[in-house]
Structure 1
């Protein structure tokens, strides 16, 4: 989720009480992991998520697998409200993710960035 979330950030997540809206950052449970990703679309039953600098959407996910919405982030000793940490995808972040994926390919490693 870089640049919105950085290594070492701690996200405060509030429970999901209604279907998330596009653009919100949510905590979701996939088969083997928990992720914080941005909602691309949601029809009330199923949502599509994507990391800010990922190449594509994650597979559609039932709403019951979304555990909550990110509201605040602790960065270092400072607590940041949403408008100060949620900057969304940026050109530099997309470039960084592309370089990271290419380097992993060259080194024979696979996985998500």
Structure 2
């Protein structure tokens, strides 16, 4: 989720009581992990999520697998509200992901889906 979340940040998540809205950062349970990703769309039953600098979105996920919304982040000694830490995706981040993937493919280390 860089640049919104950085290495060492600790996110405070509040329980989900209503349907997440596009643009919100949520905590979701996938088969083998928990992730903080941004909501792309949600129809009330299923939501599509994506990391800010991911090349592609996650597969649609049932709303019951979304555990909560990220509201505050502890960064260093400061506690930041959503308006101070949530900067959203940036071109630089997407460019970094593209360069890393192409370099991995060139070196023969590309991930297979």
> Same fold, TM exceeding 0.5?
yes
1:98 partner SS: helix
User: 1:3-22 maps to which residues of 2 (within 5 A)?
Assistant: 3-22=3-22
Question: Where does 1:1-113 land on structure 2 (aligned, <5 Å)?
Answer: 1-105=1-105, 106=107, 108=109, 110=111
Runs of 4+ in 1 over 3 A off after TM superposition: none
1:80 Cα deviation (Å)? Answer: 0.8
Q: CA deviation at 1:93?
A: 1.0
**SS in structure 2 at match of 1:103:** helix
Whole-Å separation in 2 of the counterparts to 1:14 and 1:109: 36
Q: Deviation at 1:107? A: 5.6
User: Which residues of structure 2 form unaligned runs of 5+?
Assistant: none
- Whichever of the two has the greater Rg, that structure is 2
**Secondary structure of residue in 1 paired with 2:41:** strand
How many pairs are equivalent? 111
Could you list the runs of 5+ residues in structure 1 that have no partner in the other structure?
none
CA RMSD of aligned residues (A): 1.4
User: Take 2:79 and 2:108, find their aligned partners in 1: how far apart are those partners?
Assistant: 37
> TM-score scaled by structure 2?
0.91
CA distance in 1, matches of 2:47, 2:61: 5
- Cα shift readout 1:51-85 (whole Å, capped 9, x = no counterpart): 01111111000000000000001111111111111
